[in-house]
Amino acid sequence: MACAVAFLFAATAWAQPMAPDVEGGVDSQTQGMLSLGFGGAKISEDWFLRLHVAFNLTVPDITLAREGTLFEEDQTHDLRFLFFAPFSFRVKDNNPQDDETLRIEDWDQPAEFMRLLRVIEYGTPYDGIYFRGGELVNVRIGHRTIVDSYINTLDIDRFQWGLHSNVNTVFGGSELLVDNLADPELFGARTYVRPWQFVDPDAYAQRLAFGLSLFGDVSAPAVLATDDAGRYLPDDNGR
């Protein structure tokens, strides 16, 4: 359970355009925003003061591919970074007592230090080229029939640095999902091809696609354990 009231201080900075052919103005400049926030939360039996330092950086108009054989338009999109450092300080220690003031569960696994670069993202999921690393939110794969609204950081004690990427060309494409690069459990890929695109690119039949998808959750139990009252029991990792 958690309840919080948060305060935020933010400062914004701009840099000059990354390329000389980009027109001036705020929209074409590298932009950064530093924010400081704090709030309160109850985690398990204890109360914590939660502090975070965050820095958002947006580098505009990064071109990874030009209009041509594979793409109908230039793949020019913003590249976004989110650097994030959270800290939780125990302010009320209820039974059972704990000796640590700083909540060590926030930093007790190597993967949790990867949260310092919480997100790196290029484009949007329906662009010709897209990727997002770090915290994944609202991931949808296979028109929501394979994966729908997936989030890889719901566990407050276990940050995961995942990867979601798409490549969509006029001839076909591919998609990749990994929940945690440090210790993958849910992962898979799908690929598809539009065969009529090789015959007549202007025909309506070029919309027809054939593909293969393979996704799995290797941590999913074959049988759900229950106690004598019929309640489901989590494993040592809280799953």
**Band of pLDDT at residue 163, cut at 50, 70 and 90:** very high
Beta bridge partners of 168: 173
Distance CA 123, CA 167 (A): 11
Burial 166-190 (b: 16+ CB within 10 A, else e): bbbbebbbbbbbbbbeeebbbbbeb
Query: Residues 98-133: pLDDT tens digits?
Result: 778 888 888 887 778 888 999 999 999 889 999 999
Q: What residues contact residue 202 under an 8 Å CB cut-off, 6+ apart?
A: none
Q: What is the pTM of this model?
A: 0.78
Preceding peptide of 96 cis, ω within 30°: yes
Contact, 79 vs 123, CB < 8 A? no
Distance CA 224, CA 220 (A): 9
pLDDT of residue 24: 44
Query: Residues 29-77: pLDDT tens digits?
Result: 888 999 999 888 888 888 999 899 999 999 999 999 999 999 999 999 9
Query: Residues 4-25: pLDDT tens digits?
Result: 444 555 555 544 444 444 444 4
Burial of 20 by CB count in 10 Å (0-12 exposed, 13-18 middle, 19+ buried)?
exposed
pLDDT of residue 194: 94
- Using CA atoms of 87, 219, 167, 24 in order, give the dihedral in degrees to the nearest 10: 0
Query: Residues 166-213: pLDDT tens digits?
Result: 999 999 999 999 999 988 999 999 999 999 999 998 888 888 999 999
The one-character DSSP state at 124 is -
Distance CA 167, CA 144 (A): 17
